[in-house]
Structure 1
Amino acid sequence: MAKKQSKKKDDKKKKWYAEGLRFECTQCGDCCSGAPGFVWVNEEEIAAMAEEMEMEIDAFEHQFVRQVGREKSLKEYPDGDCILLGPESRKCTVYESRPIQCRTWPFWDSTVKKRGDWKQACEVCPGAGTGKLYTFDEIELQRKRKSV
């Protein structure tokens, strides 16, 4: 057990965000729009979103989910916006049950690997770099969570 704790401390020393990072979601919708991509979802997430929208799972899946190889992703509008982003409100219509991929933003490997990556995230996300201070351990927990 001591070896595991020692490794954890060594990892923390190596990470540029060892003192934590600030983030507070403003629900601006910017992370839900832009270039086309994928929001990977699993069966549990699909069921939770369907329940929040008071829909049958099959109906929700038919309307909002696409098959990509062996995996499933939320559909998008032609401009790249997530299909669950309200066109008028610009807010997530299933915010309380949004997928893990969405819940863990901005603590993705691609945004915390280097200080410059985080700086870029802060430039495009009004909530990144402000609000609640997440500890190193909280960031690592979010970074390692996976949907699929």
Structure 2
Amino acid sequence: MAARKKWYSQGLRFSCTGCGYCCSGRPGYVYVNDEEIAQISQYLGLETAEFLSRFTRETHRERSLNERPNGDCVFLDPISRSCRIYPLRPRQCRTFPFWNSNLRRPRDWEDVCRTCPGCGKGPVFSYETIEELRRVIDL
């Protein structure tokens, strides 16, 4: 039996505008694994233990970056709205908006596109590229 084509089999358009939407707003989790923790700690010139205590919290699933009271990621600069660890941002950030939760149905993608100005615009990401990104982290 042939595999059923996914609704995004023709690809999806996305171009990051640098607006910070995906780094702010409603509370949530930005999961970080051991490799990301080590890389970000080194990038910031901190011992791993200090990085963990200052910038992360334990969740039901794994470690997550802290957020400010307004929901912004702790690494989102409040003035420039840019990421202070962009070169080493976690896999969750690198793969947005191509998460399972945003790709289940066209309606889920449309929900993201209502708030993310880069969603539905820019170059087409091929089905193969989307699948590769989607498999990086299960969200």
Query: TM-score, structure 2 length as denominator?
Result: 0.90
The offset of 1:56, in angstroms, is 2.6
1:43 aligns to 2:34 (yes or no)? yes
1:29 aligns to 2:20 (yes or no)? yes
| Root mean square deviation of aligned Cα | 1.7
Per-residue deviation, residues 16-60 of structure 1 (Å, max 9, x unmatched): 110101111122111111111111111111111122223332222
**Stretches of structure 1 lacking an aligned partner (at least 5 in a row):** 1-5
Q: Is the 8 A contact 2:11 2:125 kept in 1?
A: yes
Q: How does 1:118-129 map to 2 (within 5 A)?
A: 118-129=109-120
Aligned counterparts of 1:43 and 1:66: Cα–Cα separation in 2: 13
1:78 aligns to 2:69 (yes or no)? yes
Aligned counterparts of 1:138 and 1:48: Cα–Cα separation in 2: 25
**Stretches of structure 2 lacking an aligned partner (at least 5 in a row):** none
Q: Secondary structure at the match of 1:130?
A: strand
Q: Is the 8 A contact 2:99 2:137 kept in 1?
A: no
Aligned counterparts of 1:107 and 1:62: Cα–Cα separation in 2: 30
Aligned counterparts of 1:55 and 1:100: Cα–Cα separation in 2: 20
Q: Is the 8 A contact 2:23 2:76 kept in 1?
A: yes
Aligned counterparts of 1:52 and 1:24: Cα–Cα separation in 2: 26
